[in-house]
Structure 1
Amino acid sequence: MRGFTAGLEGGTRLDVRSFLDTLGLNNTTAERCYHSHSRSSVLQGLPFGGVPTVLAINVVMWLLLLLIFSCLRKAAWDYGRLALLMDNDSLTSLFYGEQSEKEKSPSESSPSDAENKDVGFCSWLTSLYHMKDEEIRSKCGLDATTYLSFQRHIILLMVVLCLLDSFLWLHSVFALLYFIITALCMAHHSSRLEYREDEKVARTLMVTSIPKEISDPGLITKHFHEAYPSCTVTDIRFCFDVRKLMKLDSERRKAMKGRLYFTGKAQKEGKIMIKTHPCAQIFCCDICEFQQVDAEQYYSELEEKLTDEFNAEKNRIALKKLDVAFVTFRDERMTASHKWEVDYAPAPSDII
């Protein structure tokens, strides 16, 4: 009986020790979890887990980026419009004296009006809200208007998503409703896109192997009238070798951009001197002491020289006639092929 009692007491004592060991193990595990949590990368010692601090840092960085963008925009103000206007001065309009509606639109707006609307350091922030799509298109082109319209529709969809956020994933009905709203919103955006098919290109054929001695469009018109009585020719344009003219035009545009750049810079910093020798920018060749010239005067003289060469080459273009001509018919059905292969003529800009 005593043995049984001693065994019972020994077993109870062992169970108590095991229980205490278990508590110690649990305490060790809890301390270990606490220490690992204390080594977390989350901001500690700050209210609300550091969320207001992170938000303040994001706002400060956003203001910094906004300031940098304003400085860069002020330095390159109206550069996009300048490039847009210069690109519209195409060789096609120089030869034929025609400009499409796309080429005419940027020049219709007065430059003084654009300058008065955006002269401040951050005035573009207010211009975002009162500028019309026509003004944006005339200043930046059709692609900018289309992109901004798409962004407006996306913002509207995000607002709808925020309003339906608590119900959107609750039932499929709200998901279907949001899908319908998205489809209608994108359909409204697509309806405002302008797609114009050039009917003149569809009615124009490129005719090759024309004798270079033929310079009268009336002879070609007479030929088509006799060979194809049902076809009516409305316009004929001969092609010329303009490779040298294109090179001169490109150099002339570069000189003009350089003149405009240094003219604006000279108004702020005064007279600017540059070295025009190709090796002047190499560090080891600086000991040669290349002559410095006035940047504005250099590019003005270079532009004038290239303009004279361009005009002289333009006057000689008539002597560089090719055996190719573009023939435009009155109706697209007249250009249909019958037992012979016919391809639509490429756009004049692809050739010129």
Structure 2
Amino acid sequence: MDVFEDMFVERAWSDECEKLPNKSTIFTNDFNGIPETLLLNVISWLLLVGLFTALRHQAGDYGRLALVNNHGTRKRWTEVFYSRATSTVHTPTPEASTSRMQNDAEGGRSSITSNTSEPPLSPIHSDQGFFAWIKITWKLQKEQIKTHTGPDAIHYLSFQQHLMTVMAIVTLVSIIIILPVNLFNGSTEGRTDLNEFGHTTMENVSPESPWRWVHVIVTIMYAPLIVLIMRRASGRNAFKTAATRTIMISNISASDRNKTIIRHYIQELFPDVNIEDVQIAYNISKLTVQNAEYVKILDARMYCEHHRDKDTLQVTPNLCSCAKENAYAYYQREERKLSGDVARLRAAALNEPLGIAFITVSTVHEAQNIVSHFTPGTYRKWNLEFAPSPDDLFWENLNVSKSNWYFKWGIVNFILFLTLFFLTTPAIVLNFLNAYALAKGNIYQISPVVSEFLPTLLLWTLAALMPVIVAFSDKWLAHYTRSLQNYSIMIKCFCYLLLMILILPSLGLTSAQKLIEWSISNDTIRWYCVFMPDRGSFYVNYVITAAFIGTALELLRFPELIVYIWMLCTAKSKAETPYIRKSILIEFPFGIHYAWTVLVFTISIVYSVSCPLIMPFAMIYICFKHFVDRHNLFFAYGPSNMISRNGGKIHSTAVTMTKSAIVILLVVMAMISVFRERGNARAIILFMTLVLTLALFALMSPIKRCASVPRPSVVEVAGPAPIYVPDVLRPRAVASGTLNNHAATNGGGVTGYGSDSVSDFDISSQYSVDA
């Protein structure tokens, strides 16, 4: 007890914790810069939303639909990214939805090219007001979003809606209960260094005060609150629709990579099974790259054909040269050359089968029977599992061997860990600003704009940049499925963000390097400095920045716009514009957005008890984020359809990640009770609650479906199963058909979602342009 008694001797622990290594500080403004940060963020938000509205007002169609429905008019760049309503969308009926799902099961692109089963399009009628897009986005129906974007969008938006419920309750508790306790039941005697913001925190309440039990009780009550509400998000729409009667066989030896051998072997083991189809995967990595170039040249050639001045349209074959030639002749020549290259690569790919095959049986029961009873033999050590959806597969990545993939995984994650853990810790930014101010001798003259707003803006920028680095590294890893890639990105982004933005700065460490230095030094860490009130204000400023500037920038989508402008600048001629417009139609990055959303939720819950003012701004964030994501999912991004037996793992894991907020909150409150208070009883209760919570999470899995009758994780699609053949290996049709075949490749490779009754790639409208 001597050690703990020394910790609790009368000392100016607040002064000691606030000091930087050089014994000086620049953060001296009242209320820790929160009013100034809020004012600047609101002004910036108004300007950015106004800019987005002005750009959208100049466009002709809704953003994503403008990419695929060019009705004979030339499009400005604003019409591709920002747009308003003259487009039409489906108001699906149950019959139409069923028919669409049946068409999806056939594996073709019937939902894109066939209109027979669809009802007439119903336009989104809106007044031509400047801010009409807000009303339109607000009125979007669930079935409209699902039809255009896919079922994953519904799971994601349902997750956000349940987070909104949790955060609304926590906000009410923070403002009505915790904030008055902090303000009116504390004493600031001997704490004259506390600024006005400190009066609103838990530190304003004396450690010996019985009012501290309010914080403990609220902390304990948050655990069942979050679990009971979020379990509904994991149960609602948790089932998936997929072709479960298709089995993926892997680890096939070279001598057995033949459809007849595979069919006969399975038929011998299971004589009562009716095998409908057998397909083998091939090495198409080179073919995919060359085919994409061929489609680009084909699109450009057809653009020239429909251009009224095709004889005068010029192309610059070499961007480093000023030499030009006739565009139509150039693209004709390149098309003939690439057509031959694609044909040779297709023939070569068909002679290079991989050790992966897809076998489709007649019923789900037969497929389950094969998967559960198949035992690898001494000769054929095959691995059987339910196949992902064809649209969920990265066909070009199936040639990557397991050993090669794990080697790349180790290298990538080691480099990523070193880069993000040691070099980009956001607290380094604060140290730099402090050192710069001290060097200039302006210690007490730093504006709140610099001391509070700028660090949080830089922190948010680093938080936005880090997932981009993770996403690019994961794409290089060559995952087999889109769902697995999104899942991996989500897990890594959340872990790195949690470490960089919450854990290390809250521990008072300036960087990860300081953590290593402390671990090998003889100094004792100042535990009483953990989760200080000023750091609470820092995260209030961070949540404000994320809520206003962050969500407004997500509307503008500057990164995608920069890529689009770069592609236009590097194009050889304007005939390549239609292909560029289709190629920028990417899928919504669910992994990144799940990580961002859960991070802000975790920060707000962790600081909701000690710093209740964070919750109103966190509530604003989740409301703005939900609205912006609804808009972008429908109007900005391409359809996503991670249909697989494990395709819903990303959504259920996101719900599981919300439990980290409960665990960290209990740990923080227990540490505060031990190291900064004499409340042994409170510490014991908090530790017991923490152990009980961890045991429930680990052993009982409290987040389950709340449905009274268990539903299967995958529901079989009615009708024929999809064909497991990549687009690049399907028979090439006439020129117009080729565009249809490759449209999904450019737009995300998803069948059935995001299409209208009007042909998305109708030649007469896509290429009928004016000079």
C-alpha distance in structure 2 between counterparts of 1:71 and 1:173, whole Å? 49
1:191 match: 235
User: 1:136, CA displacement in angstroms?
Assistant: 2.0
Question: Does the 8 Å contact 2:162/2:233 carry over to 1?
Answer: yes
**Alignment correspondent of 1:154:** 163
- What residue in structure 2 maps to residue 343 of structure 1? 383
C-alpha change, 1:143 and 1:71, in structure 2 (3 Å) is farther
Equivalent residues of 2:287, 2:345 under 8 A apart: yes
Any residues of structure 2 matched to 1:308-327 within 5 Å, and which? 320=351, 322=353, 325-327=357-359
2:373 is equivalent to residue 333 of structure 1: no
2:245 equivalent to 1:200: yes
Question: SS at the partner of 2:229?
Answer: helix
What is the number of residues matched between the two proteins?
A: 274
Kept after mapping to 2: 8 A contact 1:117/1:127: yes
Q: In the TM superposition, what is the alpha-carbon distance from 1:277 to its structure 2 partner?
A: 1.9
Give how far 1:331 is off. Answer: 3.2
Q: Which has the higher contact order (CA 8 A, sep 6+)?
A: 2
Look up the match of 1:291.
324
Is contact 2:256–2:262 with CA below 8 Å preserved after alignment?
no
Secondary structure of the structure 1 residue equivalent to 2:383: coil
Q: Aligned to 2:292, which of 247, 250, 271?
A: 250
Which consecutive unaligned segments of at least 5 residues does structure 2 have?
1-27, 69-102, 182-210, 399-725, 727-771
Verify: 1:135 aligned to 2:144, yes or no: yes
Q: Residue type matched to 1:194 in 2? A: A
Across the aligned residues of Structure 1 and Structure 2, the Cα RMSD in angstroms comes to 5.4
Q: Offset at 1:64?
A: 0.7
In 2, Cα distance between the equivalents of 1:299 and 1:118?
A: 46
Letter in 2 for 1:185: I
> What residue identity is the alignment partner of 1:146?
H
- How far does the alpha carbon of each residue in 1:128-181 deviate from its partner, in whole angstroms, 9 at most, with x for none? 211012222333344443333333223333322232222247625544444433
Contact kept? 1:248, 1:310, Cα under 8 Å: yes
- The 5 A counterparts of 1:1-352 are 58-70=41-53, 77-79=62-64, 99-100=104-105, 107=112, 122-165=131-174, 166-168=176-178, 171=214, 172-196=216-240, 199-201=244-246, 203-206=247-250, 207-210=252-255, 217=260, 221-222=263-264, 224-226=266-268, 229=271, 233-240=275-282, 242-243=284-285, 245-255=287-297, 275-278=315-318, 280=319, 282=320, 285=321, 289-291=322-324, 320=351, 322=353, 325-328=357-360, 330-335=366-371, 336-337=374-375, 339-340=377-378, 341-344=381-384, 349=393, 350=395, 351=398
Larger Rg: 1
Secondary structure in structure 1 of the residue aligned to 2:277: strand
Letter in 2 for 1:334: I
Q: Distance in 2 between matches of 1:113 and 1:306?
A: 44
In structure 2, relative to structure 1, the CA distance for the partners of 1:254 and 1:228 (3 Å cut) is same
Provide the C-alpha distance between the structure 1 equivalents of 2:132 and 2:106, rounded to a whole number of angstroms: 30
SS of equivalent to 1:333: helix
Distance 1:299 1:331 in 2: 51
The equivalent of 2:697 in structure 1 is: none
Superposition deviation, residue 209 in structure 1: 3.6
Alignment partner, residue 25 of structure 1:
none
Deviation at 1:333, TM superposition (A): 3.3
Give, in angstroms, the shift of residue 184 of structure 1: 2.4
Deviation at 1:115, TM superposition (A): 7.5
Structure 1: gaps (5+ residues): 1-39, 43-48, 84-97, 267-271
Once residues 273 and 51 of structure 2 are traced to their aligned partners in structure 1, the CA distance between those partners, rounded to angstroms, is 62
**CA–CA distance in structure 2, aligned partners of residues 126 and 246 of structure 1:** 42
Is contact 2:282–2:353 with CA below 8 Å preserved after alignment? yes
Shift of 1:250: 1.6
Cα distance, 1:298–1:182 mapped onto 2, change above 3 Å: farther
Alpha carbons 1:248, 1:306 under 8 Å: kept: no
* Distance in 2, Cα, partners of 1:184 & 1:260: 57
Q: Supply the distance in 2 between the matched residues of 1:113 and 1:299 (Cα, whole angstroms).
A: 42
| Alpha-carbon distance between aligned partners in 2 of 1:65 and 1:316, rounded to the nearest angstrom | 52
Contact preservation (8 Å) 1:255, 1:302: no
Distance 1:124 1:261 in 2: 32
SS in 1 for 2:317: coil
Identity value in percent = 22
Deviates most, 127-136 or 98-107: 98-107
Q: Does the aligned pair in 2 maintain the 1:256–1:300 contact within 8 Å?
A: yes
